[in-house]
Amino acid sequence: MATMATMATTAQGEIPVIILREGTRETKGKTAQRNNITAVKLVGNIMKSSLGPRGMDKMLVDTLGDVTITNDGATILKEMDIQHPAAKMMVEVAKSVDNEVGDGTTSAVILTAALIEKAEDLLNKDVHPMLIVEGYDLASEKALELLTGIGIKVDPTDKDVLASIAKTSMESKLVSEDSPLLAKISAEAILQVAEKSDETYKVDMDNIKVEKKAGGSISDTRLINGIVIDKEIVHGGMPKYVRKANIALLNAALEIEKTEISAEIRISDPEQMKSFLDEENRMMKAMVDKISETGANVVICQKGIDDVVQHYLAKAGILAVRRVKESDMVKLAKATKGRVVTNIEDLTKEDLGTADLVEERKVETDKWIFIEGCRDPKAMTILIRGGSQRVVDEAERSMHDALMVAKDVIERPVIVAGGGAPEAYTAWKLREWANTLSGREQLAVFAFADALETIPVTLATNAGMDPIDTLIEIRSKQSQGNKWAGVDVFGMKIADIYRKGILEPLVVKELIIKSATEVAIMILRIDDVIAASRPKEGSRSREPPME
């Protein structure tokens, strides 16, 4: 590759002007564009086969030989360790969609690739990239408007709707067989922790703790009305369970504080020694008395608990746990309605949280503390079980999607049906609208519509259906008035997807279009790729290669 920009000559044509570091490589114009297009299309092609319930999973092996089996778009892209700069932008799309709405990552990547592929056709016909960019911009705005037009308002607290939404997000996953149970769990959890302000709901995902443990089967997965912590009871003499628990949540060490200054204490006779130790003992016993007086029968402590204190606590019949993570303390406070107290002197009865049962239980080889049966808890735990580590890992990822889509709908209660129906509908209406535009813009809008249809086409292809027939039939059914006609991948036919209960949040569909368009535009605008030289062999480098 020439380094034309790096080395221009002065007006006299004598002294070369060097503006870039030696070894920098530059790809310009069509070559740069084509490189990026190829890379993006490749990533799209890899992801296509995993879209939808009939999509395949990917097995990813990292440099250490660790295996991940997943269908989750964001995870696939993350584990692939993509190097090409344009392809990396696709990873970013997936990540941002995943963070914001939790589902639709595969679709976003496929749509980006499709937009780029259709743009390539136009570039081949000598349409200027900026015209395509403008057309895509227009088309995306119109598409969003059309989507909003068909969105169906729902009652945000309708558990069945939330469960259907959650179930759809899991259809394509390893856990699909158990999706009714997992969907019900996610809907219940989201409804329970949602906070209402005015007429809208907000969900802080931190209030749902997802714990996993290989063993048992996915159907053993449970929603716990409280919090599970990966800790043991500190002292063997303490009760293994406490019913009607009054829980002191302490962020203070139950120990005698070591002084900052080192002091020397001279003890000359055994009596003195004894009284010194007695004094320490007395102080520690006083701590326990103080706790006990409030009526607490469980102590959950963020800091350490001295052996002597443990002894007195055990004698008082109090169950205690120490060195609990701060994040767990926050959740415990929300679940038990207690208050985390930083000074034992301040502890009162009002600060105690309550739970029907606090118990240490064996989960496979570990001992965990279950704080459950909390009344109206604002933080909960989902305990995921499954046959093997890989199964629980994938179940956890699927649970993330399920919780996120339920959250999406409770926060913005508008839904659409899936199965490629909304994409096909939007494509159809976009084409109609394109006819009102000038010739040049039309081309890009048509390309945009074609790209949208990649979603139903890919769903159909993955289910073994004919792509052309699929599109023709969806179009004909939709133009007869059924806007939810889409791909029924299990029935292998075109059906009313809304009636099938395959529902998705509108925000997911919106974000897929928004982010895919954004990245496609960003890639189309690039006509110059300047890459720093790669460090010499041997030194580890994360620099992107150019081709």
With CB under 6 A as the contact rule, the residue among 502, 507, 524, 529 that binds ligand ADP is 502
Could you tell me if 201 and 288 are in contact, meaning their C-beta atoms sit under 8 angstroms apart?
no
Q: Which of residues 107 and 470 has its CB atom nearest to ligand ADP in the complex?
A: 107
**Catalytic: 105?**
yes
Q: Does 171 bind Mg ion (CB under 5 A)?
A: no
Residue 350 DSSP symbol: G
With CB under 5 A as the contact rule, the residue among 98, 103, 450, 510 that binds Mg ion is 103
φ, ψ for residue 274, nearest 5 deg: -65, -45
CA–centroid distance for 183 within its chain: 16
Could you tell me if 67 and 60 are in contact, meaning their C-beta atoms sit under 8 angstroms apart?
yes
φ, ψ for residue 413, nearest 5 deg: -75, 65
Q: Which range binds Mg ion by CB under 5 A, 99-107, 289-297, 413-421, 509-517? A: 99-107
Q: Which range binds Mg ion by CB under 5 A, 80-88, 166-174, 345-353, 454-462? A: 166-174
Could you tell me if 422 and 147 are in contact, meaning their C-beta atoms sit under 8 angstroms apart?
yes
With CB under 6 A as the contact rule, the residue among 37, 40, 46, 53 that binds ligand ADP is 53
In the list ligand ADP, Mg ion, none, the entry touching 203 (Cβ below 5 to 8 angstroms by class) is none
Q: How far is the CB of 485 from ligand ADP (least distance, A)?
A: 12
Q: Which of residues 234 and 427 has its CB atom nearest to ligand ADP in the complex?
A: 427
Q: Which of residues 103 and 393 has its CB atom nearest to Mg ion in the complex?
A: 103
With CB under 6 A as the contact rule, the residue among 84, 93, 96, 103 that binds ligand ADP is 103
408 burial type by CB count under 10 A (0-12 exposed, 13-18 middle, 19+ buried): buried
Could you tell me if 135 and 475 are in contact, meaning their C-beta atoms sit under 8 angstroms apart?
no
Q: Element (H or E) spanning 38, and its range?
A: helix 29-48
Count of residues interacting with ligand ADP (CB under 6 A): 26
Q: Which of residues 27 and 461 has its CB atom nearest to Mg ion in the complex?
A: 461
Pick the catalytic residue: 6, 27, 106, 454?
106
Helices (H), 101-235: 105-124, 129-150, 159-170, 179-193
In the list Mg ion, ligand ADP, none, the entry touching 394 (Cβ below 5 to 8 angstroms by class) is none
Which string of DSSP letters, residue by residue, matches 228-292?
EES---S-TTS-SEEEEEEEEEE-S-BSPPPPSS-------SHHHHHHHHHHHHHHHHHHHHHHH
**Catalytic: 401?**
yes
Pick the catalytic residue: 6, 75, 105, 112?
105
Cβ neighbors of 408 (< 8 A, separation 6 or more) are 101, 102, 103, 165, 505, 507, 508
Q: Which residues of this chain interact with Mg ion, rule CB under 5 A? A: 103, 169
Active site residues: 72, 105-106, 401
Q: Which residues of this chain interact with ligand ADP, rule CB under 6 A? A: 50-53, 55, 71, 73, 103-107, 168, 171-172, 418-420, 455, 459, 487-490, 502, 504
